[in-house]
């Protein structure tokens, strides 16, 4: 009986020791996990810090300066700067020329972006086809994006010229018109003409972006759709388009921002004329700042577009997130 009691005592002590060791191991493992998490957090902070510093110094501070300047009466050459509140914004909004430039900016951006997205999609589909000389075709299609803006402008000015311009000559030879058309000198044609140049120059960006998305689509999806009896249009609508939808949305957003801020093409071709027919917010801001020497109004005019871009970013993020959630649910 005594031997049995000793064995039970030793067994109980062994169990308690095992439990104690297990607790110690658990606590040790927990401490190691916490330590690893802390190290990962520190590493994440170190890696993110340069980006945060960049955003603050390169983007945050200039934006703060711009907002402050728009609330003053700062002009070039003035020694004293006074705080005037929202008076610059009120004067700009009441200015008929600015109202015209704001409307022109939306018209310019809408039709230019729509044209670039549609033509860019067509170009991407064409460049994705396994045809002979595909590399050369891709280079030719991307070429407009690589040409300096000033060179493009001079070339299009020659094409559009109403004194022996290439476009007018072609139209007259084909008997489409019997007179020289003022593509850049008439209010009815100037906006159309600069939109066309913007589309020609910006379409390759959309094409390259969409092409990258097309090349990531598995051929098995097309094969499965064909076996189900889908024709070319159905394969495009139900396989191609959903697969590159996010790429199209993001590239369209980027090109929208670029188009809203477009200055060089319009300024070099029309100076915002004739009769403010192609006046954009960017050209209006330039005139206020560098021709009228009113830096405060120039900055205020530019900042009016910022809330629109913020709302656009919000809805694009929302669309992308909702799309990803739906795909995960499927």
Residue percentage of the chain with pLDDT more than 70: 86
CA distance 83 to 93: 19
Mean pLDDT of 103-119: 94
Dihedral of the CA atoms 187, 190, 195, 198 (nearest 10)?
Answer: -150
83 vs 312 pLDDT, higher one: 83
Contacts of 221 (CB under 8 A, 6+ apart): 239, 243
Residue percentage of the chain with pLDDT more than 90: 34
DSSP string covering 228-255, please? TT--HHHHIIIIIHHHHHHHHHHHHHHH
pLDDT at 326: 65
pLDDT at 70: 92
H-state helical runs in 55-165:
61-70, 87-94, 96-127, 134-146, 149-160
Contacts of 108 (CB under 8 A, 6+ apart): 191, 194, 195, 198, 259, 262, 266, 278, 280
pLDDT at 96: 94
Structural domain boundaries of the chain? 1-70, 95-329
Which range has the worst mean pLDDT, 19-33, 140-154, 210-224?
A: 19-33
Mean pLDDT of 45-58: 81
pLDDT at 91: 93
Which range has the worst mean pLDDT, 119-128, 137-146, 176-185?
A: 137-146
69 vs 327 pLDDT, higher one: 69
Q: How sure is the predictor about 120, in pLDDT bands with cuts at 50, 70 and 90?
A: very high
CATH fold of 95-329 reads: MetI-like fold (1.10.3720)
Q: How sure is the predictor about 15, in pLDDT bands with cuts at 50, 70 and 90?
A: very low
Q: What is the mean pLDDT of the chain?
A: 83
5 vs 80 pLDDT, higher one: 80
Q: How sure is the predictor about 11, in pLDDT bands with cuts at 50, 70 and 90?
A: very low
Mean pLDDT of 30-47: 70
pLDDT at 134: 72
Mean pLDDT of 303-317: 82
Q: Which tens digit of pLDDT belongs to each residue from 154-180?
A: 899 999 988 888 998 999 989 888 888
pLDDT at 44: 76
Mean pLDDT of 139-153: 84
Q: Which of the residue ranges 33-37, 39-43, 76-80, 232-236 has the most confident prediction, judged by mean pLDDT?
A: 232-236
DSSP state of 292: S
Q: Which tens digit of pLDDT belongs to each residue from 232-271?
A: 888 888 888 888 888 898 899 889 988 988 899 999 999 9
């Amino acid at each position: 009986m005594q031997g049995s009691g000793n064995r039970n005592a030793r067994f109980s002590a062994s169990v308690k020791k095992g439990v104690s060791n297990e607790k110690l191991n658990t606590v040790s493992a927990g401490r190691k996990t916490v330590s690893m998490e802390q190290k990962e957090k520190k590493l994440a902070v170190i890696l993110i810090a340069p980006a945060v510093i960049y955003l603050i110094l390169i983007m945050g501070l200039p934006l703060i300066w711009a907002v402050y300047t728009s609330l003053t009466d700062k002009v070039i050459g003035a020694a004293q700067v006074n705080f005037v509140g929202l008076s610059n914004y009120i004067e700009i909004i009441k200015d008929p020329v600015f109202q015209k430039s704001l409307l022109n900016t939306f018209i310019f951006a809408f039709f230019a972006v729509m044209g670039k997205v549609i033509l860019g999609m067509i170009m991407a589909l064409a460049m994705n086809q396994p045809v002979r000389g595909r590399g050369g075709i891709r280079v030719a299609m991307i070429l407009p994006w690589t040409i300096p803006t000033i060179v493009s402008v001079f070339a299009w000015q020659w094409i559009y010229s109403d004194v022996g311009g290439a476009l007018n000559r072609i139209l007259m030879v084909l008997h489409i018109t019997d007179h020289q058309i003022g593509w850049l000198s008439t209010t009815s044609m100037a906006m159309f003409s600069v939109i066309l140049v913007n589309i020609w120059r910006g379409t390759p960006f959309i094409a390259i972006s969409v092409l990258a998305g097309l090349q990531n689509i598995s051929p098995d999806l097309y094969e499965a759709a064909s076996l189900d009896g889908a024709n070319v249009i159905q394969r495009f609508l139900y396989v191609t388009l959903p697969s590159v939808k996010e790429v199209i949305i993001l590239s369209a957003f980027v090109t929208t921002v670029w188009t809203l801020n477009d200055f060089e093409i319009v300024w070099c071709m029309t100076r915002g004329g004739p009769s403010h027919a192609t006046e954009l917010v960017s050209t209006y801001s330039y005139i206020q700042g560098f021709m009228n020497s009113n830096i405060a109004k120039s900055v205020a005019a530019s900042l009016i577009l910022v809330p629109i871009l913020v709302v656009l970013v919000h809805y694009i993020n929302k669309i992308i997130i909702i799309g990803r959630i739906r795909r995960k649910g499927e």
